[in-house]
Amino acid sequence: MKISAFHLMPHRELPDDFEQRYESVWVTPPWWELADARRVGQYYNWTLDELIYAARAGFDGLCTNEHHQNAYGFMPSPNLMGGVLARATNGMNVAIVQMGATLPTSNPPIRVAEEYAMLDCISGGRLVAGLPLGSPMDVNLCYGITPMEHRERYREAFALTLKAWQAREIFPWNGRYYQLANVNLWPRPIQQPHPPVWVPGSGSITTFDFAVDNDVCYCFLSYSGAKSATTMMQSYWDVVAKKGREPNPYRAGFLQLVAVAESDARAEEKYARHVEYFYHKCLHVPGIWFSPPGNQDYRSLVASSKNPVRRPENPKDLRYRDFVEKGYVIAGSPATVRDRIKQEVIKNLHVGNLMVLLQIGSMPHEVALENIDCFAREVLPDLRPIWEDEGWVNHWWPERLRASTAAPRGASVAAAGA
Amino acid sequence: MSERTIAVWQGKVRIRVLSKGSGPALVFFHGPWGLTWDPFLDELARTFTVYAPEHPGTTPDTPDDVYHLDGLWDLVLCYDELLKGLGLESAALLGHSFGGMVASEVAAAYPDRARRLALIAPLGFWRDSERVVNWMMLEPARMRAQIFRDPEGEAARRMFGGTDDSEAPAARVRLMWAMGTTGKFIWPIPDKGLKKRVHRITAPTLIVWGKEDRLVPPVYADEFAQRIPSARVQIVDGAGHAPHLEQPAAVARMVADFLKS
């Protein structure tokens, strides 16, 4: 297993009545009423500190992602964060997992290819290149890309990126959306032929085909846990089988919210309000925004109208115990968390690249560090050997880090105070 | 009513055209919610031969044809080819909402093709102070309420079906795809340069607007009237963004009287 710490960089102090007072956490939350730049500077630094702490505690990778006009995640440029993380973790066996910079919102998209190459150079070849399609909120609503062009632009930019990393000659790109007469990337990545590519998705069937055809790692970035993802991930594995690829668990990534403490009761006491904050405030977005007309192609539209991915239940009606029971968040004692992640997520979804979200919603810095530390000490070591006996190679992980295990354990707590 | 499908754009874009009636040719360009043959078109068919083409991608079994078009210029050329395919040198052009913008663009690109022009709550311009509401971002019930003066009325039911969901999946797919394929040409702000081209329109023009249009406020009638020298404006009482559906008899009469003169 490879287990990475994921961070959204949320606003940690939204008002109690946020979801009653405002239309949405995304696209339209009013900055001047809700945020303060100095305080936000503190959030960014906490975020970086928490991820670096996770690296020292023995996680395999650090994940950041891109959102716009979003109070639950405001890293408009994940590569700025990635640059800091790459520099700060030099000498450690930790991957910089960019989940990542969004191609359709980068113009021209070779900007992403360039920045990823920089990160690969700075980190000494530790980059995982997440190439997300980007959410409709970010790409269509905030950045004005026509929903119907979103996937086409992405696919063109994806092909351009892969070619730009690898081409030995300067080449022209005469595309439908992008025209560049002299593509000649400086720098190029250390990893050859290119860094491992992960493609995050949210269950669209055309993305399954795309991921398998391009032989990338498909990552389901879910906030609803493994139970509700079972059918969807099974359809992904069906596509893998149908296209004649091996069922290598490292072809799949999954994001799981996790909160661990000494006991189940202690976890509830410690984390309940942060979990509820996350699901009640951070996911406060009009449902219709997730699928603006034209964003899904016709085939996916027909499929999803018959079998909607989005669950009918409203998270705002649920409380901590519901979220835990339904597996949205896996929380409790180390034993509880270990068993549930192993059975519900890793085995059930057949996943080799696990991402865990450990700073959840309003969770303060110190509590986040405790969650990271407890997970790294009590849970992670038991999960890491899963799949080892089956002999799969993680082709979707930086080659120089494939064999590595945790950073030396003793380093973590002492170094964290630095 | 008869129908035929005409392939344009080197055969890659198939457009079904519904037609009815006899008399001078009238081409109706539908709005962002798809084409439904309605009493308004029936009324016009008493005076005209009405041709109602479906926007590329909304003709059944051709959803992906729209991907052959990159932008508005391609779309305008397609409609030029369609008129040629219908054997129409010129015709009365009529459009609603998005279709009003298309009719304006065709009339600006090919002034001789438009004998007369009637625009019902057309899109095409933008004022920061009076923003066009993006219906594509509204929950279905709110979208209805934004489009129609009476969201529970006959006109709303005609466009969106009843409030019970018995037919929901298929109807929802049809509606979403109609909005998506039309949205391709106007996202995220429905101002794609008509203001630079509208002066080319030479056809006598009628602008019709529902007095209670909550989607594209009636002030936009002024934008058109100011820019098309021959244009006159008629405001329709008791109607929102689809006056031809909420007041079909009155709007059909004013449109027919204008277009046949």
Sequential DSSP letters for A167-233: -SS-EEEE-SS-EEEEE--SS--SSSS---EEEEESS-HHHHHHHHHTT-EEEE--SSTTGGGHHHH
Nearest to A292 among B67, B137, B177 (CB): B137
Sign of CA dihedral B81, B86, B89, B95: negative
Residue of B176, B179, B182, B184 for testing the chain A interface, max A β-carbons within 10 Å: B176
- Has residue B60 got a pLDDT over 80? yes
Alpha helices in chain B (DSSP H): 39-44, 72-85, 98-109, 140-147, 154-160, 168-183, 194-197, 219-227, 243-246, 248-260
- Has residue B162 got a pLDDT over 80? no
- Has residue A313 got a pLDDT over 60? yes
CA B248 to chain centre: 15
A149/B contact by beta carbon, under 8 A: yes
B245/A contact by beta carbon, under 8 A: no
Query: Is the ipTM beyond the 0.85 threshold?
Result: yes
Domains of chain B: 2-260 (3.40.50.1820)
Nearest to A148 among B137, B170, B181 (CB): B181
CA–CA min distance B246, chain A (Å): 25
Q: What pLDDT sits at residue B261?
A: 82
User: Do the chains contact at A288 and B137, CB–CB below 8 Å?
Assistant: yes
B165/A contact by beta carbon, under 8 A: no
A290/B contact by beta carbon, under 8 A: no
A294/B contact by beta carbon, under 8 A: yes
Q: What pLDDT sits at residue B159?
A: 82
Q: Which residues of A touch B176 (CB under 8 A)?
A: 291, 293-294, 296, 301
How confident is the model over A368-378, as pLDDT tens digits? 999 999 999 99
User: Do the chains contact at B188 and A298, CB–CB below 8 Å?
Assistant: no
**Locate tokens 């290598």: which residue?**
A248
Mean per-residue pLDDT for A163-177?
Answer: 98
CA–CA min distance A290, chain B (Å): 9
User: Do the chains contact at A141 and B64, CB–CB below 8 Å?
Assistant: no
Q: Nearest 10 degrees: CA dihedral of A159, A160, A162, A167?
A: 130
DSSP B5: E
Nearest to B184 among A288, A294, A297 (CB): A294
Q: What pLDDT sits at residue A411?
A: 44
Mean per-residue pLDDT for A318-335?
Answer: 98
Q: What pLDDT sits at residue A408?
A: 44
Distant-in-sequence, close-in-space partners of B150: CB < 8 Å, separation ≥ 6: B156, B246
User: Do the chains contact at A147 and B183, CB–CB below 8 Å?
Assistant: yes
CA–CA min distance B41, chain A (Å): 27
Q: Which residues of A touch B188 (CB under 8 A)?
A: 140-141, 144, 146
The residue type found at B55 is H
- Has residue B169 got a pLDDT over 90? no
Confidence of residue B244 (pLDDT cuts 50, 70, 90): very high
- Has residue A414 got a pLDDT over 50? no
How confident is the model over A240-299, as pLDDT tens digits? 999 999 999 999 999 999 999 999 999 999 999 999 999 999 999 999 999 999 999 998
User: Do the chains contact at B137 and A286, CB–CB below 8 Å?
Assistant: yes
B61/A contact by beta carbon, under 8 A: no
B188/A contact by beta carbon, under 8 A: yes
User: Is residue A256 within a helix (H) or strand (E), and if so which, with residue range?
Assistant: strand A252-260
Nearest residue of chain A to residue B60 (CA atoms): A298
Q: What are phi and psi of B136, to 5 degrees?
A: -70, -15
User: Do the chains contact at A294 and B180, CB–CB below 8 Å?
Assistant: yes
Residue of B65, B131, B143, B173 for testing the chain A interface, max A β-carbons within 10 Å: B173
Q: What pLDDT sits at residue A303?
A: 83
Distant-in-sequence, close-in-space partners of B129: CB < 8 Å, separation ≥ 6: none
Nearest residue of chain A to residue B140 (CA atoms): A288
Counted across chains A and B, CB pairs separated by less than 8 A come out at 70
Mean per-residue pLDDT for A84-102?
Answer: 97
Mean per-residue pLDDT for A21-42?
Answer: 98
Mean per-residue pLDDT for A136-150?
Answer: 98
User: Do the chains contact at A286 and B139, CB–CB below 8 Å?
Assistant: yes
**Partner B, chain A 172-211, Cβ-Cβ below 8 Å:** 176
- Has residue A10 got a pLDDT over 80? yes
User: Is residue A48 within a helix (H) or strand (E), and if so which, with residue range?
Assistant: helix A37-57
Q: Which residues of B touch A297 (CB under 8 A)?
A: 64
How confident is the model over A392-411, as pLDDT tens digits? 999 999 999 998 764 444 44
Q: What pLDDT sits at residue B170?
A: 87
Mean per-residue pLDDT for A334-357?
Answer: 98
Q: What pLDDT sits at residue B165?
A: 56
Cα–Cα distance measured from residue A170 to residue A225, given in angstroms and rounded to the nearest whole number: 45
Nearest to B139 among A141, A146, A288 (CB): A288
Q: Which residue has the higher pLDDT, B181 or A228?
A: B181
Q: What pLDDT sits at residue A308?
A: 61
Mean per-residue pLDDT for B32-45?
Answer: 96
> Contact, A331 vs A270, CB < 8 A?
no
Nearest residue of chain A to residue B189 (CA atoms): A144
CA–CA min distance A359, chain B (Å): 31
User: Do the chains contact at B183 and A292, CB–CB below 8 Å?
Assistant: yes
Sign of CA dihedral B185, A25, A77, A198: negative
Nearest residue of chain A to residue B175 (CA atoms): A293
User: Is residue A242 within a helix (H) or strand (E), and if so which, with residue range?
Assistant: helix A230-242
Average pLDDT, rounded, for chain A: 94
Q: Which of A156-160, A228-232, B168-172, B182-186 has the lowest mean pLDDT?
A: B168-172
Nearest residue of chain A to residue B141 (CA atoms): A288
Q: What pLDDT sits at residue A228?
A: 85
Query: What's the pTM value of the predicted model, to 2 decimals?
Result: 0.94
